[in-house]
Amino acid sequence: MTTQPSETVETRRPLNKERVLKAAIDLADREGIRALTMRRLAEELGVEAMSLYYHVSNKEALLDGVVDMIVGEINSELATIDVPRPEDDWKRAMRMRILTAREMMLRHRWAPNVIEERTTISPQMVLYFDGLIEIFHRGGLSYDLAHHAMHALGSRALGFTQELFEPDEQAEPDVSSDAMLETMSDHVPYLVAMLNDITHDEPETTLGWCDDQTEFLFGLDLILDGLERRGEEADGA
């Protein structure tokens, strides 16, 4: 008869798939994706682990659902914002869409890795991609070019890139990398030179300390500009 610690009385109503997925996202946000186990999630919901299987057929399905819900939230948000008509400025329309998706990814830092591990296709993701293709098409790009564009964007279409040298989520200061570069400087002279050159103004900067947002935009605009030019070349020919 006692209420579970993390449960208020009003949430003690019967579970459903939506509440399970919401709780899973919440748990991953708070404690990282490693903490998202069936047993731990059940505990969070004040229920036995096996109860989850009534609402979700297994853990893979849980993760599929989680991804679908997050992309669904992106789609909902996109419906509320004002974007230019693609016929007028498809690059800006595309940019705004992708940056909206990116905000969601930054709120759920674990999501990119989960998304990339999925093998099934999320219906919400299909809807999202349809929206991107619409922009390309109405912007005047051929479907052929739009197809190349989707591949060229890759995960950037969803607002994230994999930073290969990004340190851990809540990383320790990691002074070792400074010392390491020092000792390696004979072996990696160009890398060291580049870092020295970059860190001129911002003294705090080192490997992985870069401004992600700036770099994301640089890469995104590089691709969008390139696509625009290929479109013009095709029109000219």
Rule CB under 8 A: which residues touch a copy of itself?
A: 113, 115-117, 119, 121, 123, 125-127, 129-131, 133-134, 137, 142-144, 146-148, 151-152, 154-155, 157-158, 161-168, 171, 177, 180, 184, 187-191, 193-194, 197-198, 207, 210, 215-216, 218-219, 222-223, 225-227, 230
Asked if 71 and 81 count as a contact pair (C-beta separation under 8 A), the reply is no
| By the rule CB under 7 A, 21 interacts with DNA | no
Q: How far is the CB of 29 from DNA (least distance, A)?
A: 17
- DSSP per-residue codes, 174-205: -THHHHHHHHHTTT-HHHHHHHHHHTTT-TT-
Residue 31 or 88 having the CB closest to DNA = 31
Binding DNA (rule: CB under 7 A), the pick from 11, 22, 29, 38 is 38
What are the phi and psi torsion angles at 81 (to 5°)? -100, 155
Written as one letter, the residue type at 175 is: V
Binding DNA (rule: CB under 7 A), the pick from 6, 39, 179, 215 is 39
Binding partner at 10 among DNA, a copy of itself, none, C-beta below 5 to 8 Å by kind: none
Residue 20 or 111 having the CB closest to a copy of itself = 111
Helices (H), 108-198: 111-117, 123-138, 143-153, 176-184, 189-198
Asked if 52 and 41 count as a contact pair (C-beta separation under 8 A), the reply is yes
Q: What angle do CA 171, 31, 213 make, to 5 degrees?
A: 50
Segment contacting DNA (CB under 7 A): 13-21, 109-117, 186-194, 221-229? 13-21
Residue 54 or 143 having the CB closest to DNA = 54
Give the separation between CA 118 and CA 111, rounded to whole angstroms. 11
Kindly state the DSSP code that residue 10 receives in the 8-state scheme.
G
Binding partner at 190 among DNA, a copy of itself, none, C-beta below 5 to 8 Å by kind: a copy of itself
CA distances in angstroms from 173 to 176, 178, 183, 208, listed in the order given? 9, 10, 19, 11
Q: How far is the CB of 179 from DNA (least distance, A)?
A: 26
Binding DNA (rule: CB under 7 A), the pick from 59, 109, 156, 230 is 59
Q: Which residues are near DNA by CB under 7 A?
A: 14-16, 37-40, 42, 47-51, 53-55, 58-60
